[in-house]
Chain A
Amino acid sequence: MSRCLHLRMKATEGALLRVIGTAERRGFRVAGISTSGDEHDPVLRVKLSLAEGPRALELLRSQLAKLYDVVGFDTPAANEPIAATASPVLARSAAARRGTEQYAGASA
């Protein structure tokens, strides 16, 4: 079962390349990508489908969130499969065991 991220992006030069490149470089296989928007729309909506893999989706989400073209993430529609919690790349995921206290104010 594939996993999905729904992104809202600025429709700028190279924006899609950055998203796909970030996913693949971080060890995720892009199973599909669909976009909505037109040349007059400053915001592009992107559905990124990713093959199942050993790395947690949150790892990719946090890297994508740093891209200047990424405005935000949408919640998947109710009828779409939600990504299962995968094993992270972490040596030990204290976040998974105890909950990590992250908060706004980062540079992303």
Chain B
Amino acid sequence: MAARTARKSTTMPDASTTSTAISGAQALIQALKAENVRHVFGYPGGAIMPVYDALVGSGIEHILVRHEQGAALAADGYARASGKVGVCMATSGPGATNLVTGIANAFLDSVPLVAITGQVATPLMGTDAFQEVDTFGITLPIVKHSFIVRRAADVLATIREAFAIAREGRPGPVLVDLPKDVTVGIAEQEHWRGRSQKPARNDRQALTRAQSLLKAALKPLVYIGGGVGMANAEPALRKFLAATRLPSVATLKGLGAATQDDDLHLGMLGMHGNAAANHAVQECDLLLAVGARFDDRATGKLDTFAPNARVIHFDIDAAEIDKLRGADIGLTGDLSAALTALSQPLAQLEDWQVRCLELKRQHAWRYDAPGEHIYAPALLAELSRQATPETIISADVGQHQMWVAQHCRFGSTRQHLTSGGLGTMGFGVPAAMGAVLSCPTQPVVCVTGDGSVMMNIQELATLRRYRLPVKIVLLDNSSLGMVRQWQELFFDGRYSEVDLSDNPDFVEVAKSFGIAAFAIERRDQVESAIARLLAAEGPTLLHVKIDARANVWPLVPPGKSNAQMMEGAMR
């Protein structure tokens, strides 16, 4: 970190100071504007008050959330949907600790985020002062990098560095802790100098060997991860798939990377993946892992995953190569360039393509569930059918999250916002809030559950305040459905603390926040209700009563191979 000046002060500059003298807080605002930050999600408090003072009239729109976790998750959704760095802000102590879940969420899913926290003044640090916690220490395991800024003169350079780190290579969250005396101290205005990122280069010899492996393979399969979207490599991937006619599967975060009309794309693999995708992985003889990290939810029992396959692993993070599954060839360079170099027609694949198409036909989703209740997968397929191709869907966490992944279709990975690594209940609404601000021309739908929505229900007030037109589909099974499903299947049906049958009336709750809301409970209401929801002007909630006994299928039991999927009855 470059120190610009040794001058230190703990006094606020007055209005007559020269144009080169600004406060640390003003330097922060200047740095944010230089990074083209238009929105900041946050909540004020004592230690960060000088920053909130500097925000007034700055041109940066601050979105006042109702809980700091909402700020971090909104900034996360903002970043996922747009590719820009999301920014959240909170005061010291409880403000900072409330950000922690959101920061961890961004870390586990490699989302570029800058979290700015107030801190007690440096003379008070380490004295157990009011609202003092070691934010830097608490967040060490869940950030890509972090800073405590000790001098106002270092604010500009630190913020510049924080943004560069958050977005470069494998993205991630960066924390900047700002003691109060630093934000009121004197900084120096400086001319902005952009930081250039070294382009990652590919190893030609490794690419040549990859090409040889591809040509020799009889059953090659592409395993698409979230890294494809983050590398802006979707166009190259689609051209690669079209040129090679390779079958493909995707992780939860890789959904949307392949085109929707690619007949050889088999959908999601893993614990709740499509059976066709899991069978294809088990049968393939060459796996091209593209921006994927062999996560346990995708692989099932690791040593049984793709047992016959050699592996070509593309990842911007060299530490992912060989971390869990050994790679025959590891490629950490420019993904688009590498895929382009490999985009050539392949012979000998006809039998394998026919096999994959047959698997896809055999295991196509069915929506003819018996019974009277609304069948959530069918509702979500209908939602996807009626939504425009640009629609962004933010999923909360639980059974509905998996149903979204299985039954909705996405034009790109940035149109599917889901908490993959951390699995943060309460993610859906604030993430949708962020997406609607970063992508204002795209419709945004949040699919949530009765458990998840209550985790950040207070953010309905934020939707109302800023009139953010998020459309919420609340699938209500009056229980913590995924936990209930596991208790049913793996704990002999002993249900422990999963009953939510005393939920509030969600329509009335939404209305009390000033959000339009309506409810359905019959199958014949689904089509018109979805149409009404999508056509609504402002934020609107659709409450859907579903069968409390409905389970997500297929399911790979914990510790089992993906080949040991359980299939259950539709309800």
Interface of A toward B, CB cutoff 8 Å: 12-14, 17-18, 21, 25, 58-59, 62-63, 65-68, 88-98, 100-108
Of B88-96, B198-206, B388-396, B475-483, the segment with at least 4 beta carbons within 8 Å of chain A is: B198-206
Q: Which residues of chain A are within 8 angstroms of B322 by Cβ–Cβ distance?
A: 58-59, 88, 90, 93-95, 100
Q: Which residues of chain A are within 8 angstroms of B321 by Cβ–Cβ distance?
A: 62, 100, 102
Q: How far is the CA of A94 from the CA of B306 in the complex (A)?
A: 13
B333 engages A105 (CB within 8 Å): yes
CB distance from B443 to the nearest CB of A (A): 34
CB distance from B151 to the nearest CB of A (A): 12
Additional pairs, 11, CB under 8 Å, beyond known A63-B319, A96-B326: A13-B148, A17-B140, A62-B323, A92-B326, A94-B310, A94-B327, A95-B322, A100-B330, A103-B206, A106-B200, A108-B317
Q: Indicate with 1 or 0, residue by residue over B48-75, a CB within 8 angstroms of chain A CB atoms.
A: 0000000000000000000000000000
Residue with the greatest number of chain B CB neighbours at <10 A, chosen from A17, A95, A103, A107: A107
Q: Which residues of chain B are within 8 angstroms of A68 by Cβ–Cβ distance?
A: 145, 165
Q: How far is the CA of A92 from the CA of B313 in the complex (A)?
A: 14
**A93 in contact with B146 given A101-B206, A105-B202, A108-B318 (CB within 8 Å):** no
A90 engages B206 (CB within 8 Å): no
Residue with the greatest number of chain B CB neighbours at <10 A, chosen from A25, A66, A106: A106
Give the size range of B's interface with the partner. 35 or more
List, sorted by A's number, 8 A–B pairs whose CB atoms are closer than 8 Å: A63-B319, A66-B319, A67-B145, A90-B326, A91-B324, A95-B327, A104-B201, A107-B169
B305 close to chain A: CB less than 8 A: yes
A102 engages B330 (CB within 8 Å): yes
A101 engages B209 (CB within 8 Å): yes
**A92 in contact with B303 given A68-B145, A101-B329, A106-B318 (CB within 8 Å):** yes
Q: Which residues of chain B are within 8 angstroms of A90 by Cβ–Cβ distance?
A: 322-326
Q: How far is the CA of A13 from the CA of B158 in the complex (A)?
A: 13
CB distance from B28 to the nearest CB of A (A): 19
Interface of B toward A, CB cutoff 8 Å: 1, 136-137, 140-141, 145-148, 150, 165, 168-170, 200-203, 205-206, 209, 302-303, 305, 310-311, 316-319, 321-330, 332-334
Q: How far is the CA of A26 from the CA of B349 in the complex (A)?
A: 40
Q: How far is the CA of A96 from the CA of B145 in the complex (A)?
A: 31
Residue with the greatest number of chain A CB neighbours at <10 A, chosen from B1, B145, B148: B145
Q: How far is the CA of A104 from the CA of B547 in the complex (A)?
A: 53
B137: nearest residue on chain A (CB-CB)? A17
Residue in A14, A63, A102, A106 whose beta carbon sits within 8 Å of that of B136 in the complex: A14
Q: Which residues of chain B are within 8 angstroms of A91 by Cβ–Cβ distance?
A: 302-303, 305, 324-326
Q: How far is the CA of A68 from the CA of B206 in the complex (A)?
A: 27
A105 engages B327 (CB within 8 Å): no
CB distance from B105 to the nearest CB of A (A): 18
Q: Which residues of chain B are within 8 angstroms of A108 by Cβ–Cβ distance?
A: 169, 317-319
Q: Which residues of chain A are within 8 angstroms of B324 by Cβ–Cβ distance?
A: 89-91
Residue with the greatest number of chain A CB neighbours at <10 A, chosen from B202, B322, B328: B322
Residue with the greatest number of chain A CB neighbours at <10 A, chosen from B205, B206, B319, B330: B319
**A65 in contact with B140 given A91-B325, A105-B201 (CB within 8 Å):** no
Q: How far is the CA of A103 from the CA of B200 in the complex (A)?
A: 10
CB distance from A59 to the nearest CB of B (A): 7
A68: nearest residue on chain B (CB-CB)? B145
Which 9 A-B pairs rank lowest in CB-CB distance, beginning with the nearest?
Answer: A107-B169, A94-B326, A106-B318, A62-B319, A106-B332, A91-B302, A91-B303, A103-B203, A93-B326
**A103 in contact with B332 given A17-B137, A21-B140, A21-B141 (CB within 8 Å):** yes
Residue in A12, A62, A67, A100 whose beta carbon sits within 8 Å of that of B327 in the complex: A100
Residue with the greatest number of chain B CB neighbours at <10 A, chosen from A12, A68, A101: A101
Q: How far is the CA of A88 from the CA of B319 in the complex (A)?
A: 13
Q: Which residues of chain B are within 8 angstroms of A21 by Cβ–Cβ distance?
A: 140-141
Q: How far is the CA of A96 from the CA of B327 in the complex (A)?
A: 10
A94 engages B316 (CB within 8 Å): no
A66: nearest residue on chain B (CB-CB)? B319
CB distance from A29 to the nearest CB of B (A): 17
Q: How far is the CA of A24 from the CA of B321 in the complex (A)?
A: 20
Q: Which residues of chain A are within 8 angstroms of B327 by Cβ–Cβ distance?
A: 94-95, 100
**A101 in contact with B165 given A18-B140, A94-B311, A95-B327 (CB within 8 Å):** no
B146: nearest residue on chain A (CB-CB)? A14
CB distance from A105 to the nearest CB of B (A): 4
B315: nearest residue on chain A (CB-CB)? A106
CB distance from B187 to the nearest CB of A (A): 19
Q: How far is the CA of A23 from the CA of B329 in the complex (A)?
A: 26
Residue in B205, B305, B329, B332 whose beta carbon sits within 8 Å of that of A105 in the complex: B332
B204: nearest residue on chain A (CB-CB)? A103
Q: How far is the CA of A84 from the CA of B141 in the complex (A)?
A: 28
